[in-house]
Structure 1
């Protein structure tokens, strides 16, 4: 009986602390797994290359790639390629996201705009932006502007489609409440439409950043004199595979980094999810 009384009178604060520690332990375990998987792949790659199982002519060990990267950083070559590519990625990403969000919101809110724009979006979306690159180069030259336009075109479509879908999927009850309380168009836009569409819209933006990285590599391979894609292509043609892998790993790193940044933004903007 005494043990049962002690158990029943256990401090709720102590129980809450124990549950919090358990949640923290699970989060640390998940983070450890996230870090362990790429480290495991790199160690396995190093081992297979060093033992001769993998041909180092085509798969140089990660340690050799790291040394090449350090040399390129020291010479200043790498910083130039990274800086140019990041500028093109961010400029093209913003140039695609901003009109995509605005037009997507208008399509979701107003039926005439949706019926007018939707056929154009559906007709142009299947055309790969890279297939239009020759026309884009003719119109905008081979400089940064053509790369920015190419990325913007690739990013625009997933953002506009997801944003419009997010608005159309808002629960009807929120629309009725806004009407009943006489919300203005501005209030409806910023209080109902934008927050309601944001979960799906952010997924479209997340997809857009991945497409932006894919596009910049291909665009810089086809018509550029600098950038990470240019580095990958020229290194491949010269059979400088260590430099080629430096470019590939950098693209992978930036993709992972941008994804984490957008996920962090999503947690800030949508804490209930």
Structure 2
């Protein structure tokens, strides 16, 4: 069954530990959830959603929990479906929760476990995003190689016979392979306990690489690269949209830095 992780809200993004306003209130043997989520991947297509909601406002980030909400639960609905720049095959939409009642046992983990759950999901998500970035960059490289070998400059020479084109293709191939093999390594068992920064680092490398490679591909095709006659304009749009997908780059880099420096994860301690 397809699932979705519902974290982002209209009033916040990377600072969700401070801005989460969706509320889950215990009522007997159930939690009643009210609020909304935005930019949720697979919205409408997924059968199950992990919804992040605040259960105890007095506890700050420690009072945020996660709940399993099935698609057909009364009070749960899909709002505005976004018309995106790229990644249009991945429906992204708003979730609306209006007195959405779920059994108490639908809480994922314990109350306040959402940081642990979010970080675990973030690592998996980053590895998947890195793989997607490598895949679309590889597609752009393959399309470009085909084009430059067929595009005649002065017969019988093609673009493939020009030194600068050969060098650019080499740079693109090195970038794709480097990101591919780093991502392979990032999903191997970690060498020590604790959160592994490698999937997060792989996402940064691969998503930046995809923008660079698809941009170079469009340049090599010239004006044709900007037309819908070739798929490169789509790959470029997909790369940019994937780059913007959560977790935010600044947040990922902050988390990596904390892991490498041994600084506790989560918001800074209060003075």
Structure with the larger RCO, 1 or 2 (CA within 8 Å, 6+ apart): 1
Report the TM-score, using the length of structure 2 for normalisation.
0.30
Q: Which has the higher strand share?
A: 2
Higher share of residues assigned helix: 1
Radius of gyration: which is bigger?
A: 1
Q: Name the TM-score, length of structure 1 as normaliser.
A: 0.30
